[in-house]
């Protein structure tokens, strides 16, 4: 009898396991846009589409403009606080269903928050701020945010991958936001993990004052963001290292100390926030049921060295040494390599290359220059301008530009090449190439490279009426731009300065980084 019962239990267990396997929901994925270090996905409410932040620090909500278009009515009002000194009026909205476009996933909120996000959008010069997907979504799914690959995956609860990930336990701050232990200068503190925070790290005043501040150089008070409560005014400094665990340590972490006498952050009792400025180097899985955050650093692209063919070799390299913080790290009779932190350029003497070499069509048997811009990520664009390009006429357009929440500026060197500087990260590094071509084979080479390396389309400014096909792709911090021109578009681009390096040669400078967890 016992034997038959045991056999029956085994059969029942197998049937149960088979049923569970068959009923497990397949994970669904969508690509996202990382704008101002925040992940945005497309959402549809009542047939109206918009771009929403996936935010561990928030709850489901929508901009007043979007709510009006989607026909979501306002209910009871209240005052809401966030980053910044102030507060603003917000409303509880009526029940709404948020459909994640490109998937079958729909997430509900009985009372989504409705508030005015336009000041944040306009202040940061970002193209959209339609709403937020927050706590409800993370409670319904185990969520993977793969920042380098710009992909969010929704796993059925308990069915996310675990192999190769570092597991970080967390508690909930105010029953909502993941909060982890981190160590700075040997001092442990509780830090919330906020995917809606654009910065690398925020330390609130009480925790900052508990550190040894003798070796920390604070910047002047400046605006470092914009929150629900208005401008986020803070002083910035760089921490040599920050530690979550022996396997998860970060070096040269750009950190801010907010200076607020009112608002949500002024009353915070925890140590600070860990933001997307660090998370963007990882795939991060949030498992709210187990209260675990899993991190894995996938291989990411890097540009070890820019190659530059200089006609006036001596004067051009001297300009880079005089105007920028580069130093000579290698030299031969015909080349010179300059480096500062992770930014590196190799100059090759090429007297045959004319200054301001023009883009010319290959249809006229003249090769166009492949690279017409290259650039760097720097910690703070304003600091670079003040130290290295203080005159208004040093900058193209006479000023920095804020594009999609990111400050940048352009300068032209003595040979007419355009350098582009992007604000981001804690140190200088090579991060950007822009190519121009009208050659189908070169265009094919580029598109194959993009596909093979998992680069994601970030923006498309193509214009069929002018014959310009302009697309921007990203992977991690690396950005590439390609202008493919047809005959109608050639003339406006004659005279474009470039580095004399063709696309296929430039692509050889890219490499995949290792998967080390240390940042």
What does the pLDDT look like over 129-173, one tens digit per residue? 999 999 999 999 999 999 998 999 999 999 999 999 999 999 999
Give the SS3 label for residue 67.
Answer: helix
Whether the per-residue pLDDT at 192 is higher than 60: the answer is yes
Which residues, listed in sequence order, are joined to residue 168 by a DSSP beta bridge? 293
Say which DSSP state 392 is in.
G
Which residue reads 């190439």 in tokens?
433
In the chain, CATH 2.40.70.10 covers 28-155, 166-296
Assess whether pLDDT exceeds 80 at residue 182: yes
Pairwise pLDDT comparison (422 vs 361), residue with the higher score? 422
28-155, superfamily in CATH?
Acid Proteases (2.40.70.10)
pLDDT of residue 429 exceeding 80: yes
pLDDT digits (tens, 9 = 90+) for 276-285: 999 998 999 9
d(CA 470, CA 481) in angstroms, rounded, equals 7
What was the pLDDT predicted at 12?
42
Contact criterion met (CB below 8 Å) for 461 and 481: no
Task: Give the 3-state secondary structure of residue 17.
Answer: helix
* Residue range(s) occupied by CATH 3.10.180.10 in the chain: 301-512
Q: Per-residue confidence at 496, pLDDT binned at 50, 70, 90?
A: low
| DSSP-assigned letter for residue 463 | B
Pairing of strands 272-274, 187-193: parallel
CATH number for the domain formed by residue range(s) 166-296: 2.40.70.10
Q: 41 Cβ partners below 8 Å, 6+ apart?
A: 30, 32, 33, 51, 52, 54, 100, 101, 133, 152
Where does 301-512 sit in CATH, by number?
A: 3.10.180.10
Residue 428 in this model has a pLDDT that exceeds 80: yes
> 162, 287 in Cβ contact below 8 A?
no
For position 310, what pLDDT does the model report?
86
CB contact burial 8-27 (16+ within 10 A = b; e otherwise)? eeeeeeeeeeeeeeeeeeeb
Nearest to 192 by CA among 268, 132, 257: 268
Mean pLDDT over the full length of the chain: 86
What tokens does 444 get?
């094919």
CA distances from 223 to 205, 231, 257, 461 (A): 16, 6, 11, 30
Read off the tokens for 352: 């045959």
Rg over alpha carbons for the chain, rounded to the nearest Å, is 25
- What's the pTM value of the predicted model, to 2 decimals? 0.81
At 8 the pLDDT is: 42
Given a cut of 50, whether residue 301 has pLDDT beyond it is yes
Instruction: Give the integer Cα–Cα distance in Å for 421 and 370.
Output: 20
Q: Does 362 score more than 70 pLDDT?
A: no
Q: Average of pLDDT values for 193-199?
A: 93
- State mean pLDDT over 318-336: 95
pLDDT-derived band of residue 303, with 50, 70 and 90 as boundaries? very high
Helix or strand run (H / E) with residue 139: helix 135-140
Residue linked to tokens 């578009």: 489
């Amino acid at each position: 009898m016992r034997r038959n019962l045991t056999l029956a239990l085994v059969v029942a267990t197998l049937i149960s396991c088979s049923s569970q396997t068959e009923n497990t929901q397949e994970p669904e994925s969508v690509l996202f846009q990382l704008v101002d270090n925040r992940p945005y996905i497309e959402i549809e409410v009542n047939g109206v589409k918009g771009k929403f932040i996936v935010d561990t620090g928030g709850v489901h909500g929508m901009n007043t403009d979007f709510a009006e278009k989607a026909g979501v009515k306002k209910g009871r009002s209240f005052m809401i606080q966030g980053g910044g000194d102030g507060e603003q009026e917000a409303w509880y909205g009526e029940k709404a269903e948020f459909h994640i476009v490109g998937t079958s996933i729909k997430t509900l909120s009985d009372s989504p928050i409705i508030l005015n996000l336009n000041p944040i959008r306009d202040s940061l010069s970002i193209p959209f701020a339609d709403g937020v997907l927050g706590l409800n979504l993370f409670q319904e799914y185990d969520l993977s945010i793969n920042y380098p690959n710009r992909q969010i995956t929704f796993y059925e609860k308990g069915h996310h991958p675990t192999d190769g990930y570092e597991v970080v336990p967390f508690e909930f701050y105010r029953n909502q936001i993941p909060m982890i232990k981190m160590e700075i200068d040997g001092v442990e503190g509780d830090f919330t993990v906020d995917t809606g925070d654009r910065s690398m790290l925020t330390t609130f005043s009480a925790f900052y004052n508990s550190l040894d501040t003798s070796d920390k150089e604070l910047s002047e008070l400046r605006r470092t963001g914009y929150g629900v409560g208005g401008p986020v005014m803070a002083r910035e400094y760089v921490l040599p290292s920050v530690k979550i665990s022996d396997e998860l340590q970060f070096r040269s972490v750009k950190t801010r100390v907010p200076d607020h006498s009112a608002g949500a952050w002024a009353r915070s009792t925890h140590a600070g926030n860990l933001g997307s400025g660090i998370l963007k180097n990882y795939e991060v899985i949030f498992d709210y049921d187990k209260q675990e955050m899993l991190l894995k650093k996938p291989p990411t692209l890097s540009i070890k060295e820019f190659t530059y063919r200089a006609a006036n070799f001596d004067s051009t390299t001297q300009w880079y040494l005089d105007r920028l913080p580069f130093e000579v790290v290698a030299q031969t009779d015909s080349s010179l390599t300059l480096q500062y932190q992770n930014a590196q350029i190799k100059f090759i003497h090429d007297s045959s290359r004319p200054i301001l070499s023009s883009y010319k069509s290959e249809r006229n048997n003249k090769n166009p220059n492949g690279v017409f811009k290259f650039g760097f990520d720097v910690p703070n664009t304003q600091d670079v301008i003040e130290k290295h390009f203080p005159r208004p006429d040093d900058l193209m357009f006479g000023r920095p530009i804020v594009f999609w929440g990111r400050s940048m500026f352009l300068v032209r060197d003595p040979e007419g090449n355009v350098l582009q500087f992007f604000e981001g990260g804690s140190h200088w590094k090579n991060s950007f190439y822009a190519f121009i071509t009208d050659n189908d084979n070169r265009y094919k080479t580029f598109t194959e490279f993009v596909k093979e390396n998992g680069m994601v389309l970030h923006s498309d400014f193509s214009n069929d009426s002018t014959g310009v096909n302009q697309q921007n792709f990203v992977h991690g911090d690396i950005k590439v731009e390609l202008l493919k021109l047809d005959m109608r578009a050639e003339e406006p681009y004659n005279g474009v300065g470039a580095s004399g390096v063709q696309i296929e040669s430039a692509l050889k400078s890219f490499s995949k980084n290792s998967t080390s967890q240390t940042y």
